[in-house]
Structure 1
């Protein structure tokens, strides 16, 4: 990887290095949301940059409240914008040095959802997670359902309740079947959980009736985010047969504000797990399309410090993004710019890498001690869940920042 140096101060541990330069939507004070790029602890105001004539793209695209129209210009243009900004941050005699107002401190900015999400799909692509759930709720010797190794299982989620990192999440109410009873009750979820996931943003439209193949799927993937698909396990358990998740999932999902481009992640591609049995031809792919992204989940009870409860990695995924997108559209389903496809819970082989409290507590049978001495089997009111992710190689770090949310009591 070519060594790059920037004249902007970037802490060594920053997720937003000169190699990254993710896109996001921010606002300052009462100002309207607009597009920016993160570098260190600063945001480069892309609208201001365009006004100075330093970008070939009109500032109109950067004064919108989402990145959808900009992303829709295509990778040839969006990649060039990112590389042009990179050069401006590298050049010793950069014209940006004469325009300090182009930079906005991240601490002064409010972040927004980076895209308008028309549709959201949640997959179930970690074999370790699916196996753990199967062992808990079905036959331990036949944990995976017969279809699992033949297709990327997924379901259509609720796009309207996806919120940006930092948004509080209200504990959901719903129908729950108490243990050893035959009639449900209506009450607040007592088994509220997080799900450690990553999501990708669709960057290219595909019309209804057309399919995306694994050979061209990468053209349709703009970038990635961290994703917490909050889950009410007790509500979900009662409702999910026969049609799958509904109210146990749709109350909220949290997404990180910065979209890391696939071009920035290119050096971190790795091989995924061997897929056996052999997949059908439309799911076959060439090359490496798993990514070595280190992931972490922490729980911070009110008034105390954070306790890390999971350390996982995105490279564990059995089904990759090319296969997910190819399968999603094999029936002719259309996709649009800004659609979000989430990975499903990301778990590794050992308990330290499990991506949900359902697994960490093994269905509520075990507890995790917090730093204040309290214990958790599932999430309690006023707990804050913080997820982080970064890739690192040869001293070069590219990260996603964090996605966090605090649980508020039910009403």
Structure 2
């Protein structure tokens, strides 16, 4: 059921020496869309050309794939390629990348950690979705090794980060910049791990915000789940009421739960359901000043954290800045990531799987 007919996430795959092309995951196989649908838009190494066709094409194509898998499976089966025979690639060409900061629990935890004598949230936090522009060129597909970054870690000291961290996030992929509504602009969602070097970040971020502590790598899942497939729930109550351009016309809370695994052991289950700012509000704020959208734009939710200690989506929260290390079943502990560590983030949306994003530190 997790990758059944109600899911059908898109990705880019190759087999052997064949050129990469677009497919849809169905159970433990990939449906080769070029062969199954006889459409050359899928014979390209990214989803961008298909996404640029717009919402009507997305909806009609999804309906056609569902119909073929439901009624023509004997024919369609000839175009299903087992997952263990394919290589998965970055699913779309990333045009721009924006990272938000939309979890009130995460923002409050970091505020209490770094400003214990002040109000945890900055005055603007409840009035707008805080974000920053990232680096599209270092967005990589799941499975790509992550090299420990070097930088200035404190005054006069240059070297490798000692505080390498994760950020468990949900990403939103813009398909059609000219759509008339949120649903017509945003193609789907993908899992994101926004790797972070906390010591580099802490030294450099005042006064302009994140830079080298974030830009070295951001990993995404090879699968993009269509927005149409996701169960929606009411968004969180917001106080004070946001300005008119941020007032939600529809419910765009998402019933998604993540799972963070370190070296094969689950250490956290962050719930996306409690995010303060919703994806339609992020998109509205990102463009209200006149900024344009492009097919392939990626924007992410920021670290997803819940109210409970085992629902935090970053090591800096799970270990309270390294003072309370994570204890693993093999007796080892972690304050931050060590070389050789592998982090895998998975997610489910109701009965659907959003796949996983994984990376190993080297």
TM-score (structure 1 length as normaliser): 0.86
Find the counterpart in structure 2 of residue 338 from structure 1: 296
CA distance in 2, matches of 1:369, 1:50: 50
Out of 37, 46, 52, which is 1:50 matched to? 37
Find the counterpart in structure 2 of residue 156 from structure 1: 133
Contact 2:106-2:303 at 8 Å conserved across structures = yes
Out of 350, 353, 356, which is 1:399 matched to? 353
Change over 3 Å in CA distance of 1:74–1:358 after alignment to 2: same
What does the per-residue CA deviation read over 1:196-222, in whole Å, with 9 as the maximum and x for residues that have no partner? 00100001125xxxxx9xx82232111
Find the counterpart in structure 2 of residue 71 from structure 1: 51
SS at match of 1:85: helix
The CA deviation at 1:241 is 0.4
The CA deviation at 1:313 is 1.4
CA distance in 1, matches of 2:247, 2:184: 17
Find the counterpart in structure 2 of residue 362 from structure 1: 320
Q: Does 1:109 align with 2:86?
A: yes
The CA deviation at 1:390 is 0.7
Find the counterpart in structure 1 of residue 95 from structure 2: 118
Change over 3 Å in CA distance of 1:260–1:99 after alignment to 2: closer
Find the counterpart in structure 1 of residue 62 from structure 2: 82
SS at match of 1:142: coil
CA distance in 2, matches of 1:82, 1:321: 22
Out of 246, 249, 253, which is 2:211 matched to? 246
Find the counterpart in structure 2 of residue 29 from structure 1: 16
The CA deviation at 1:189 is 0.4
Out of 180, 202, 218, which is 1:237 matched to? 202
Contact 1:134-1:140 at 8 Å conserved across structures = no
Q: Which runs of 5+ in 1 are unaligned?
A: 1-11, 52-58, 178-182, 207-211, 301-305
Out of 112, 117, 121, which is 1:144 matched to? 121
SS at match of 1:24: strand
Find the counterpart in structure 1 of residue 143 from structure 2: 166
Aligned-residue CA RMSD in angstroms?
Answer: 1.3
The number of residue pairs the alignment matches comes to 362
Report the more deviating stretch, 281-290 or 153-162: 281-290
Out of 162, 166, 173, which is 1:190 matched to? 162
Change over 3 Å in CA distance of 1:337–1:187 after alignment to 2: same
The CA deviation at 1:140 is 4.9
Contact 2:36-2:76 at 8 Å conserved across structures = no
Find the counterpart in structure 2 of residue 41 from structure 1: 28
What does the per-residue CA deviation read over 1:336-375, in whole Å, with 9 as the maximum and x for residues that have no partner? 0110000000000111100000000001110111121100
The CA deviation at 1:141 is 4.6
Find the counterpart in structure 2 of residue 386 from structure 1: 344
Provide runs of 4+ in structure 1 moved above 6 Å: none
Q: Does 1:262 align with 2:220?
A: no
CA distance in 2, matches of 1:125, 1:391: 19
What does the per-residue CA deviation read over 1:154-176, in whole Å, with 9 as the maximum and x for residues that have no partner? 00000000000010000001101
Contact 2:69-2:76 at 8 Å conserved across structures = no
CA distance in 1, matches of 2:217, 2:163: 15
Out of 186, 195, 203, which is 2:175 matched to? 203
CA distance in 1, matches of 2:238, 2:36: 46
What does the per-residue CA deviation read over 1:287-317, in whole Å, with 9 as the maximum and x for residues that have no partner? 31111111100100xxxxx111110111111
Contact 2:139-2:219 at 8 Å conserved across structures = yes
Change over 3 Å in CA distance of 1:85–1:188 after alignment to 2: same
Find the counterpart in structure 2 of residue 9 from structure 1: none
SS at match of 2:144: coil
The CA deviation at 1:386 is 0.3
CA distance in 1, matches of 2:256, 2:77: 33
